[in-house]
Amino acid sequence: MSAAAMKAWIKSRETPLSRFAYCAFTTLRTLRVPVIRPLHRTLYALHLAVRDAVQESARILWYTPLFASRLETPAPGLLLYSGMPQVIGPLRIRVGRGSRISGISTFIGRSGTAAPLLDIGDNVDIGWQSTISVGTRIEIGDNVRLAGKCMLAGFPGHPMDPADRAAGLPDTADQIGDIVLERDVWLATGVTVLAGVRIGAATVVATGSVVTRDLPPGVLAAGVPARVIRSLAAADAAA
């Protein structure tokens, strides 16, 4: 009997023997030693200490200098966490002072033209699983916050014409554009910003929104496509 047939026979539980085998297997699968709280709490704390020490050592000695060697600027106070961002394609990267970048993020430069520029300001947060695809230029101003799973799509990677896509041709010039996030912008989790968009200073874009056109400064925007919900300046004045 093959392994797959044996597995199916055990799962079927159609005979006393298969039911016994199923019970034995599930019991073995969930076995664990009894919890001795003082001992295991100590071991847990030791595990965290060792894990953190290894991660910090890797950050200081490996990830940060390797990533910094890829930058055009010194990036003083740069903090990488959870590894090192993936960089794909030709891309010039500048990072200002005191920015924090998740290692579980991806920076992509469009091929086929002069190396595009990703310009990250001071005190910027780029959250985990965020992707920044630079067609020509993306500028992220000082104090900008990108939560997890944000997408800045300066180019789509594929043409609109289905025959061209099937042939593996690249996207066209009209699909590419700059993206500018002015200072103090906050993109909440899962926000997508398309090519050719400028978001004004201190504007907040709500979770899951897709920004297809420019947004003015100092507003809350939400939706697909994103639209202005209200002025944040008015709310601050009322408070």
Q: For residue 158, indicate whether it is catalytic.
A: yes
- 3-class DSSP string for the chain: CCHHHHHHHHHHCCCHHHHHHHHHHHHHHCCCCCCCHHHHHHHHHHHHHHHHHHHHHHHHHHHHHHHHCCCCCCCCCCEEECCCCEEECCCEEEECCCCEEECCCEEEECCCCCCCEEEECCCCEECCCCEEEECCEEEECCCCEECCCCEEECCCCCCCCHHHHHCCCCCCHHHCCCEEECCCCEECCCCEEECCCEECCCCEECCCCEECCCECCCEEEECCCCEEEEEHHHHHHHC
CATH number 3.50.50.60 is the correct assignment for the domain at 71-238: no
pTM value is 0.84
Q: Give dist(CA 12, CA 86) in Å, integer.
A: 45
- 3-class DSSP string for 54-120: HHHHHHHHHHHHHHHCCCCCCCCCCEEECCCCEEECCCEEEECCCCEEECCCEEEECCCCCCCEEEE
pLDDT digit string, tens, across residues 2-54: 888 888 888 888 888 888 888 988 888 888 899 999 999 999 999 999 999 99
Given 100, 137, 158, 198, which residue is catalytic?
A: 158
Name the stretches of the chain with pLDDT < 50. 237-239
pLDDT at 239: 46
The distance from CA 190 to its chain's CA centroid, rounded to whole angstroms, is: 9
Give whole-number Cα distances, 106 to 40, 97, 103, 128, 170, in Å: 37, 20, 8, 9, 20
pLDDT at 31: 87
Q: Which of 171, 176, 174, 187 is nearest to 154 (CA)?
A: 176
